[in-house]
Amino acid sequence: MIRFEQVYKQLAGRTVLDGVDLEIQPGETFFIVGTSGAGKSVTLKHMVRLLTPDSGRVWIGDDCVSEARGRVLEKIRSRFGVLFQGAALLNWISAGENVGLPLLERTNKPVFEIEKLAREKLALVGLESAFDKMPAELSGGMRKRVGLARAIITAPEIILYDEPTSGLDPVTSRAIDQLIDSLRRELGVTSVVVTHDLHSALAIATRIAMLDAGRIVALGTPEEFIQSSNEKVQQFLEAQFITKRGAWEKAVAL
């Protein structure tokens, strides 16, 4: 579904992606973890060509997104829903209008129907009461969830989440995890999730990749990931108090 072939990228004269090879299957919930500045957001941005590789290619299905232009690019992008790290809501329209915006702009659905759908999606992220609020009136975590509702309202095939649970309380975080998981189980959505939260990753990922200094240093199912002998992975696990299998199973049970 999503394939990176030897992607290199320099930003500000620094190598940010250093030969990333990656293949994500349809219907996966693929997690990317890594330290701050490892290049996770940059990797996500390559999937929708907000960034273009210096060398190497990115494929979405049979389309090479890293070389697509104009309408082809637009067609590829329309298969995606994206949650940005900073939510990226338009701040002069209400939360509900933000959620409904993609439908209002891209479809001919009547406005009352769009409003109904927007309310539905906001309810899914636990924000039915925020429909008429302006983004400035919402907390960071609430904005993020509005962004999430906007990303899923067009029922996209592929959803990219940049830190969906950062800044959220643990209870809401688990609810968001369940939402991401149910999208996969019920609709077969392919998800790519960037996170620091290993509890989420271990609970709902089909596979986890660890990115460090622009390279993938570990890749595998949650079981393989937790047993990885890679030093960076072990550091990461220990930092979140996931040292033994038992601890991980507790995390899943949460």
Residues that bind other proteins (CB under 8 A): 10-13, 45, 48, 50-52, 69-71, 73-74, 77-78, 80, 82, 84-86, 88-90, 101-102, 104-106, 111, 154
- The enclosing H or E element of 70 equals helix 70-77
CB distance 134 to 94 below 8 Å: yes
Nearer of residues 43 and 94 to Mg ion, judged by Cβ: 43
Nearer of residues 17 and 202 to ligand ATP, judged by Cβ: 17
165 binds Mg ion (CB under 5 A): no
Residue nearest to Mg ion (CB): 41
Main-chain phi, psi angles of 99, to 5 degrees: -65, -40
What lies within 8 Å, CB to CB, of 78 at 6+ separation is: 106, 154, 156
Binding site for ligand ATP (CB under 6 A): 11-12, 16, 34, 36-42, 85
CB distance 63 to 76 below 8 Å: yes
Residue 79 site contact among Mg ion, other proteins, ligand ATP, none (CB < 5 to 8 Å, cut-off depends on kind) = none
Q: Nearest-CA neighbor of 214 among 13, 56, 17?
A: 17
Residue 34 site contact among ligand ATP, Mg ion, other proteins, none (CB < 5 to 8 Å, cut-off depends on kind) = ligand ATP
Number of residues that bind Mg ion (CB under 5 A): 2
Residue nearest to ligand ATP (CB): 41
CA dihedral of 55, 24, 49, 173, whole degrees rounded to 10: -130
